[in-house]
Amino acid sequence: MANMSVQLVAVERMLWSGEATAVVAQTTEGEIGLLPGHEPLLGQLIEGGVVRITTTDKETVTAAVHGGFLSVTGAGVSVLAESAELAQEIDVAQARQDVKSEDELARTQAAARLRAAGQAD
């Protein structure tokens, strides 16, 4: 089966890098699924989106992603986020509290964190 090189990078750090069989991300144009050999493209990630990467070991890497871009080239896929958190790093209790915030951006990001952590209602 064909693989592709994938990097999930936030401004502050590299979250994940490796070989994958699929990537699913939410862009301003809608949700997009990427497989090896996908045509080159550049997409803008939504604020409060979720990215899922299926590794070659059939594991899923899930992250809450807040803004940024998705780039697909012949060399692979780069997810370049303004900020992002891997699912296992998310403080679910804090996200549940933040989802009640009066700040719309905080609510949007908290909802994405809960979806990435598999805790969405």
In a domain, 106, yes or no: yes
Together in a domain, 33 and 13: yes
Looking at residue 74, its pLDDT comes to: 87
Which residues are CB-neighbours of 41 under 8 A, at least 6 positions away?
70, 71, 72
User: What percentage of the chain has pLDDT greater than the value 90?
Assistant: 94
pLDDT at 32 over 90: yes
Together in a domain, 63 and 29: yes
Together in a domain, 62 and 20: yes
Together in a domain, 82 and 98: no
pLDDT at 54 over 70: yes
| Mean pLDDT for the stretch of residues 52-67 | 97
Q: What is the pTM for the complete model shown?
A: 0.93
Rounded CA-CA distance 102/88 in Å is 26
pLDDT at 1 over 70: no
pLDDT at 71 over 70: yes
In angstroms, how far is CA 53 from the centroid of its own chain? Answer: 8
Together in a domain, 75 and 107: no
Asked whether the beta carbons of 45 and 70 are under 8 A apart, the reply is yes
Range of the domain at 96: 90-116
Name the pairing type of β-strands 60-73 and 49-55: antiparallel
In a domain, 56, yes or no: yes
